[in-house]
A and B are shown apart, each in its own frame.
Chain A
Amino acid sequence: MDSFTPVPAAIGGALIGLSAAILWLGNGRIAGISGIFGQLLPPARTVVWRLVFLVFLVGGTFVAAYLFPTLTVHPATLVEAPKWFSAGTPVWIIISGLLTGFGTKIGNGCTSGHGVCGLARLSTRSFVAVGVFFVVAIITVTLTGIV
């Protein structure tokens, strides 16, 4: 388990929780990225704060990477498609993006909205969603052999 990084993981997780806490106690909004991203589309009522949140999310990543350059890999590429998938990595990535966009839209949330905020709110829907997407993702990784 040489790649296991419990301390940065716990600190980073606490920061993600703090971010969700600030957005909740400040604006009464759930820090669910798929929702914030997905509702940039029409019919979107409150686009401005969503754009501000996302732009600063990129900025926060950038600044953290500048301050702690060796803490984490700075990915230059995405993970390549498995060798058996002859159509190539871009097609694989497109399918992954389409499924994630569609699935998080109809399922009303992703790892942050259901995972962090929903579990913390003790939402039954979120417990079901988190159980389903973690199990399916683990099965997907196993069956595709992508790692």
Chain B
Amino acid sequence: MNKSLNLPYLAVAAIAGAIFGAGLYISGMVNPLKVLRFLDFTAIPSGGWDPSLAFVMLTAVIVMFIAVRIGKRRGAPMFDTAFNEPEFNKIDTPLVAGAALFGVGWGMSGICPGPAISLIAFWPQDLLIYLLALFVGSYGGSIIIPSGREKRLALAR
């Protein structure tokens, strides 16, 4: 049977998803305005800057960093034969251009993909058109940039 349809595999996905969603709410990052208040560095002199997002990133990275170290020692995840670690490691134009375009999109609305899904819980006005646009943009990207390691490596040469 396909491993990805095993109950433990799907249970892990469910538990991880639920904790992720709770984390986005508790951290306040589900609120796009709070994210924008972090990105608004012009508010630093007046004292109106909200550095909360930096604290979210810091603790999240620390916990995951420990998990990565544990994973290296174990050698494989519990419910699969190997870690799906990205092997493509070149700094290429799609990476930088993609990050820059995402930066513009993120700065325009304060929404990144995690909170976009999390916001479904509150279903704010205009979220549906954002999600559709996110879907269309992602599909457009998949047409232009081929997926798969070999294709990426060939493109980078």
DSSP majority for the A interface? helix
Q: Interface readout for A91-120 with B: 1 if CB under 8 Å, 0 if not?
A: 011111111111111111011101111011
Q: Interface readout for A50-66 with B: 1 if CB under 8 Å, 0 if not?
A: 10111111111111110
DSSP majority for the B interface? helix
A28 to chain B, nearest CB (A): 3
User: Which residues of A from 73 to 98 have beta carbons under 8 Å from B?
Assistant: 73-79, 89-90, 92-98
Residues of B within 8 A of A117 (CB): 64
Whether A100 lies near B27 (C-beta < 8 A) is no
Whether A73 lies near B63 (C-beta < 8 A) is no
Report the count of interface residues on A (CB-CB < 8 A).
Answer: 112
The answer to whether A107 and B95 touch (CB under 8 A), given A10-B55, A24-B77, A79-B36, is: yes
User: Which residues of B from 18 to 42 have beta carbons under 8 Å from A?
Assistant: 18-34, 36-37, 39-42
Nearest 6 A/B pairs, CB to CB:
A107-B98, A12-B27, A101-B137, A136-B103, A140-B107, A105-B141
Residues of B within 8 A of A (CB): 4-5, 8-10, 12-34, 36-37, 39-43, 47-53, 55-68, 70-71, 74, 76-80, 82-86, 88-91, 94-114, 116-122, 124-127, 129-142, 144-145, 147
